[in-house]
Amino acid sequence: MIFWPAAALAFGTTAVAITRANPVHALLWFVVSLIAMALVFFALGAAFAAALEVIVYAGAIVVLFLFVVMMLSLDRAASSREKIWMSRPVWIIPAIFVVLLGAGIAWAVFAQTHLPPMPGRAVPPAEVGLRLFSTDLAAVELASLLLLAGLVGAFHLGREPR
């Protein structure tokens, strides 16, 4: 099975990513996590989603993130500052809280939900594509509008003040 190792990899690399002092390192770990996630998608039969994950998320979004972080030109002083900020006590309360939340959600979803078992189905990309161009056409148009809004906003906010 591809699923279980991929899942473990995704989880592990994400955990590592959030504990790095250097943002570039963290983002690179995140990329590995995303590729592992693509494998998970593939194992679930969602080939199209797997492809998109690699191309768009890992290939565009995180790359954009990396570009900007590079622009910040963080030096050694910055990363030592990060280390100070990341001291042990800082993690305690968020960790407790997160565990509580997780336990609650897990119990609510897994223990309380009683769905009849259904065999899963791998949905081929052809089907997804057909849906996108027929019934979910509006969603595509709205998504493009959203991207336009993001573009315009980023352009405007990025301008130097006169």
Decide if residue 118 touches another protein (CB under 8 A).
yes
- Cα–Cα distance, 149 to 156 (Å, whole number): 11
Residue closer to another protein by CB (options 94, 162) is 94
Place of tokens 């609510």: 108
Using CB under 8 A, pick the residue from 31, 35, 39, 40 that binds another protein.
40
Q: Please give the angle made by the CA atoms of 131, 135 and 140, to the nearest 5 degrees.
A: 80
Contact track, another protein, 45-84, x by CB under 8 A: xx-xx--xx--xx--xxx-xx--xx-xx-x---x---x--
Residues 5-24 that bind another protein (CB under 8 A): 7, 10-11, 14-15, 17-18, 23
Q: How far is CA 60 from CA 5, 66, 153, in A?
A: 25, 10, 18
Using CB under 8 A, pick the residue from 70, 83, 122, 133 that binds another protein.
122
| Crossing angle for the helix pair 125-133 and 137-158, to the nearest 10 degrees | 80
Using CB under 8 A, pick the residue from 31, 35, 37, 39 that binds another protein.
37
